[in-house]
Amino acid sequence: MARTILVVDDDPHIREIIVYALEKAQMTTVTARDGAEALEMVARAAPDLIVLDINMPELDGLEVCRELRKTSDVPILFLSSRDDEIDRIVGLEIGGDDYVTKPFSPRELVARVNVILKRLAARPTETADETASYQRGNLSLFPDRHEVFWGEETVALTPTEFAILKGFLRQPDRVFDRGHVMEQSYAVNIHVSDRTIDSHIRHIRQKFAALGCAMLIETVHGVGYKLGPCT
């Protein structure tokens, strides 16, 4: 079954380029011209992934992402200008899964979309070992249901955040460098910067800190990260 991709950009030329590239790759597309229309299309079309421009008038991509993350973990691939590094970082921190900078290669965009979709498609075919639940202190993770709990509280994680946390729980006493974190969270080879990994870790920490967990993932200076005590 073809995946449905929502393309959100206020520039009709860019929308046309992205739609052409995605449909050439056998994906179904729907489009939105601004943030408000994007929220309507998510409710109407239930897309498998959103390609979301950051810089749009009125309701920009970051605001759209914040609104969606209140109720949805649909993957989001941001589009941003090369001089908007801060916006890209913020986008990852509030729940984005990846970003492509403008001007971009349509081929690269399709490749990054496929990376996220392949990670999603892998969920139902995981082995029994992979679908086993994980428990450490107050933290519980259920891969088959894609659910995470801190005590009795549900924690909404993006697919990338979920994969990262699952990797830590599978080896709770191991210290992971950024390369190993990337291997745990991306199904196929792709270049992801250290800053992108750090942003995902920071966002996971913030979600659990809001529930009273001071430091779910600890920094091991000069090495990488490890799972905290989860109490």
Same domain, 35 and 73: yes
Same domain, 72 and 25: yes
Same domain, 22 and 104: yes
Same domain, 187 and 174: yes
- For position 188, which CATH number holds? 1.10.10.10
Same domain, 168 and 63: no
pLDDT category of residue 186 using cuts at 50, 70 and 90: low
Q: CA-to-CA distance for 158 and 143, rounded, in angstroms?
A: 13
What confidence score (pLDDT) does residue 187 get?
A: 46
Q: CA-to-CA distance for 32 and 68, rounded, in angstroms?
A: 15
Counting beta carbons within 10 angstroms of the beta carbon of residue 162, is it exposed (0 to 12), middle (13 to 18) or buried (19 or more)?
A: buried
pLDDT per residue over 11-34, tens digit each? 999 999 999 999 999 999 999 999
Q: CA-to-CA distance for 18 and 14, rounded, in angstroms?
A: 6
What confidence score (pLDDT) does residue 192 get?
A: 55
What confidence score (pLDDT) does residue 82 get?
A: 61
Same domain, 10 and 105: yes
Same domain, 117 and 221: no
Mean pLDDT of 56-66: 89
CB 147 within 8 A of CB 154: yes
Task: Report the length, in residues, of the chain.
Answer: 231
Asked if residue 111 has pLDDT above 90, the reply is yes
Q: What are phi and psi of 158, to 5 degrees?
A: -70, 165
Which of 93, 121, 149 is the C-terminal boundary of a domain?
A: 121
Same domain, 221 and 144: yes
Cis bond before residue 47 (omega within 30° of 0): no
- For position 28, which CATH number holds? 3.40.50.2300
Which of 121, 142, 167 is the C-terminal boundary of a domain?
A: 121
Indicate the range of 91-95, 126-130, 152-156, 192-196 predicted with least confidence. 126-130
Same domain, 116 and 182: no
CB 1 within 8 A of CB 42: no
Same domain, 158 and 137: yes
Q: CA-to-CA distance for 81 and 83, rounded, in angstroms?
A: 5
What confidence score (pLDDT) does residue 73 get?
A: 80
* Cα dihedral: 169, 207, 83, 60 (round 10): 130
Asked if residue 218 has pLDDT above 90, the reply is yes
Same domain, 84 and 28: yes
State pTM to two decimals.
0.61
- State how many domains the chain has: 2
Please give the mean pLDDT across all residues of the chain: 85
pLDDT category of residue 140 using cuts at 50, 70 and 90: very high
- The tokens for 115 are 């990376």
Q: CA-to-CA distance for 40 and 42, rounded, in angstroms?
A: 6
Domain that holds residue 10: 4-121
Same domain, 66 and 93: yes
